[in-house]
Amino acid sequence: MKNVFIIGSKGIPSKYGGFETFVDKLTEYQKTPSIKYHVSCLSDNFDETEYNGARCFNVKIPDIGPAKAIYYDIKSLDLVHKYIKENNVRDAIVYILACRIGPFMKFYKKKFKRLNIPVYVNPDGHEWKRAKWNWGIRQYWKLSEKLMIKNTDLAICDSLEIEKYIKKEYDSYLPKTTYISYGATVNKPDDIDENKYNQWLNQWNLKVKDYYLIVGRFVAENNYELIIREFMKSKTKKKLIIVTNIEKNKFYNELMKKTDFNTDDRIKFVGTIYEQDLLYQVRKGAFGYFHGHEVGGTNPSLLEAMATTSLNILLDVNFNREVGREAAIYFNKEVGNLSAIIKYADELSTQETKKIEEKALERIRTAYSWELIVNQYEDCFLKGIK
Residues 39 and 116 reside in one and the same domain: yes
> 242 has which bridge partners?
214, 269
Q: What is the pTM of this model?
A: 0.90
Residues 120 and 269 reside in one and the same domain: no
pLDDT at 386: 64
157 pLDDT higher than 70: yes
CA-to-CA distance for 326 and 312, rounded, in angstroms?
11
364 pLDDT higher than 90: yes
Residues 77 and 139 reside in one and the same domain: yes
Residues 265 and 375 reside in one and the same domain: no
Residues 117 and 30 reside in one and the same domain: yes
Q: Read off φ and ψ for residue 111, nearest 5 degrees.
A: -60, -45
Structural contact between residues 40 and 30, judged by C-beta atoms closer than 8 angstroms: no
What is the DSSP-derived secondary structure letter of residue 154?
E
Q: Which long-range contacts (CB under 8 A, 24 or more apart) does 198-206 make?
A: 200/278, 200/281, 200/282, 201/285, 204/239, 204/241, 204/268, 204/270, 206/239, 206/241
If we measure between CA atoms, which residue out of 348, 336, 278 comes closest to residue 312? 348
Domain count, the chain: 2
- Measure Cα distances from 288 to 167, 210, 348, 353 in Å: 35, 9, 11, 9
- Domain boundaries, position 232: 194-367
Report residue 128's pLDDT band, with 50, 70 and 90 as the boundaries: low
Spatial neighbors of 283 by CB under 8 A, at least 6 apart, are: 213, 215, 289, 304, 305, 308, 309
Residues 127 and 213 reside in one and the same domain: no
Higher pLDDT, 94 or 186: 94
251 pLDDT higher than 70: yes
Share the mean pLDDT of the chain: 92
Residues 198 and 220 reside in one and the same domain: yes
pLDDT at 297: 74
- Residue 295's domain is classified under what CATH number? 3.40.50.2000
Higher pLDDT, 111 or 67: 111
Residues 239 and 356 reside in one and the same domain: yes
Report residue 276's pLDDT band, with 50, 70 and 90 as the boundaries: confident
359 pLDDT higher than 80: yes
CA-to-CA distance for 331 and 216, rounded, in angstroms?
18
Residues 143 and 224 reside in one and the same domain: no
CA-to-CA distance for 5 and 199, rounded, in angstroms?
42
When pLDDT is averaged across residues 52-68 and rounded to a whole number, the result is: 90
